Amino acid sequence: MIRELQLRVLPQDAVSEQTLKQVVSQETGVSVGEINAVRILKRSIDARQRTIFVNLKVQVFIEEDPTAPAYQSVTYGDVSSGKPVVIVGAGPGGLFAALRAIELGLRPIVVERGKNVRERKKDIARISREHRVNPESNYSFGEGGAGAYSDGKLYTRSKKRGSVEKILNVFCQHGASPSILSDAHPHIGTDKLPRVIENMREQILRSGGEVHFETRMDRLIIRDNEVIGIETQTGETFMGPVILATGHSARDVYSYLYNAQIPMEAKGIAVGVRLEHPQQLIDQIQYHRKEGRGKYLPAAEYSFVSQVQGRGVYSFCMCPGGFVVPAASGPRQIVVNGMSPSNRGSYWSNSGMVVEIRPEDYPELMKGQEMKVPADSPLALMAFQERLEELCWLNGNQRQTAPSQRMDDFIHKRLSADLPVTSYTPGVLSSPLHFWMPEFITHRLREGFRHFGKVSRGFLTNEALMIGVETRTSSPVRILRDKELLQHVTLRGLFPCGEGAGYAGGIVSAAIDGERCAEMVAELLK
């Protein structure tokens, strides 16, 4: 017999299947010996009170063994003779577009400017060790996209665009832990995600698809207002409808589209800093107890949002038990991001702390700076990103050492006399962020921090370190497409996709958008 139960248990009772069998036995009157397995379907932590509970939905197998796997598998056939679809970018949008294309009988040709996920790791290490950024292989470019080495979170607020459950099941099929199906905030971990990505690539190749690394799209091949393929820097051409899933940092692609007069528009972004606390402090605050999380609870997370003078100020991509990483994708840039390994076991927690920026804010943001791009240009906010990243680099001694400031010092506009130990491996140096960052941003951050400190006592502290700058929260442009057909508004056969095109905001939403684009390509090719 199989039963489903809702349980509300103490953390120590949720720690293993054996302890859960004891709880189920007490709840149902069934002896422990008769319970063959307990499978967790949903799990969340309720830390609103001093006594912390874990809410569980479980499947109990009584005198019966689970036969079906914990996840639903997809069958991928041989598409070596199928119609081709060119997919530019091997991030989540591109990879899931490729896998969905195979389901639909199409032959995906994936073209990725960066290296495979393992080789890419060596270039990422050089950023910290040698302060050198390879513009084609870094935290943003390469197999797996920006999420591969910057956390791998799998939760999204997007519910209406497609099946989150389908995406999570595909991840499980390719090696992710089935726990992502039950966790309220699923997370694979930067240490585990590369192998999952490799398994996806191997599946694409087994099914007859192609994957080309170190191959950058330089231009679209357009005939009679229809995109029929791409040209690359290698001299190779690849023919077929094009799913453009280049990610939010492919600025050369945006410039190419603009110069080619392919319609797109400026899109709002969010800009700020990485804020790093000792994880123990966050555990104490969020779990309302001096001992922090103790033995049985995970590293605590937080989420803050406020409004200051008509703009949102909020935490973004919170990484408990994680590290701050250098995420520049070109010369004369400092950009920071965050990641967590699967065990979330580091000394620190970090989160982006960002201010909402709208296209109309560009003139104020650039006050006192040379405006190389007109305010009404679709590339205006991209130009602002570039300028702020360069300012950060200049204030970082023209290396990857990040300008930083203690949180309370920032609030009171003081230069920090010293800095706490940080996870950011290229190193940090004391800098008056309040002085050289735009007042539009710093004023709102100050007020936001004051508010967060009131609602969460202990959060506003000089133990916390602000590390500049966080600019790559999303794409600064939206490549225009038809809402129903997902094709570009003027070019048949071009499918702007994912975060880089302005239609997603993370791994899961990009993956969903990739699947939808593949489905629309299949409709086009019928």
Q: Quote the crossing angle between the two packed helices 92-103 and 507-524, to the nearest 10°.
A: 40
| pLDDT digits 0-9 by tens, 89-138 | 999 999 999 999 999 999 999 999 999 999 999 999 999 999 999 999 99
The residue count for the chain: 526
Residue with tokens 């050369």: 252
Burial of 67 (0-12, 13-18, 19+ CB in 10 A): exposed
Amino acid present at 410: F
Model confidence band, residue 154 (pLDDT cutoffs 50, 70, 90): confident
Please give the pLDDT value at position 15.
Answer: 93
Residues whose CB falls within 8 Å of the CB of residue 14, separated by 6 or more in sequence, listed in order = 20, 43, 54, 56, 296
Q: Which of 384, 382, 94, 141 is nearest to 265 (CA)?
A: 382
Q: Is residue 384 within 8 Å of residue 366, measured between CB atoms?
A: yes
Name the helix (H) or strand (E) containing 244. strand 242-244
Any alpha helices (H) in 208-336, and if so which ranges?
Answer: 251-259, 279-287
Please give the pLDDT value at position 147.
Answer: 84
**Percent of the chain at pLDDT exceeding 70:** 98
| pLDDT digits 0-9 by tens, 341-363 | 989 999 999 999 999 999 999 99
Distance in angstroms between the alpha carbons of the first and the last residue of the chain: 46
Q: How many C-beta atoms surround the C-beta of residue 132 within 10 A? A: 13
Q: Which CATH code for domain 2-62?
A: 3.30.70.2700
Residue with tokens 């389908």: 166
User: What distance in Å separates the CA atoms of residue 473 and residue 395, rounded to the nearest whole number?
Assistant: 21
Taking residues 229-238, report their average pLDDT: 98
Name the residue with higher pLDDT: 517 or 159.
Answer: 517
Q: Which listed CATH number (3.50.50.60, 3.40.91.50, 3.40.190.10, 3.40.50.10610) goes with 84-264+479-524?
A: 3.50.50.60
Model confidence band, residue 370 (pLDDT cutoffs 50, 70, 90): confident
State how far Cα 23 lies from the chain centre. Answer: 36
Q: Which of 176, 151, 506, 507 is nearest to 319 (CA)?
A: 151
User: What distance in Å separates the CA atoms of residue 112 and residue 279, rounded to the nearest whole number?
Assistant: 36
Where are the chain's structural domains? 2-62, 84-264+479-524, 269-470
Model confidence band, residue 74 (pLDDT cutoffs 50, 70, 90): very high
User: What distance in Å separates the CA atoms of residue 128 and residue 36, rounded to the nearest whole number?
Assistant: 49
Taking residues 319-323, report their average pLDDT: 95
Q: Which of 222, 205, 220 is nearest to 88 (CA)?
A: 220
Whether pLDDT at 190 is above 90? no
On average, the pLDDT of the chain sits at 95
Whether pLDDT at 158 is above 70? no
The string of DSSP letters for 395-425 reads: HTTTTTPEEEEEHHHHHTT---SS----S-T
E-state strands within 380-434: 402-406, 428-430
Q: Which of 419, 417, 414, 451 is nearest to 433 (CA)?
A: 414
Q: Copy the structure tokens of residue 273.
A: 């800093």
Model confidence band, residue 189 (pLDDT cutoffs 50, 70, 90): confident
State pTM to two decimals: 0.95
Please give the pLDDT value at position 161.
Answer: 58
Please give the pLDDT value at position 152.
Answer: 64
User: What distance in Å separates the CA atoms of residue 238 and residue 223, rounded to the nearest whole number?
Assistant: 14
Model confidence band, residue 151 (pLDDT cutoffs 50, 70, 90): low
Whether 2-62 shares its CATH topology with 84-264+479-524 is answered no
Please give the pLDDT value at position 159.
Answer: 56
| pLDDT digits 0-9 by tens, 249-263 | 999 999 999 999 999
Name the helix (H) or strand (E) containing 171. helix 164-173
Residue with tokens 């995406």: 167
Please give the pLDDT value at position 369.
Answer: 87
The string of DSSP letters for 323-378 reads: EEEE---SSS---EEEE--TT--SSEEEEEEEEEE-GGGHHHHTTTS---S-TTST
User: What distance in Å separates the CA atoms of residue 330 and residue 14, rounded to the nearest whole number?
Assistant: 46
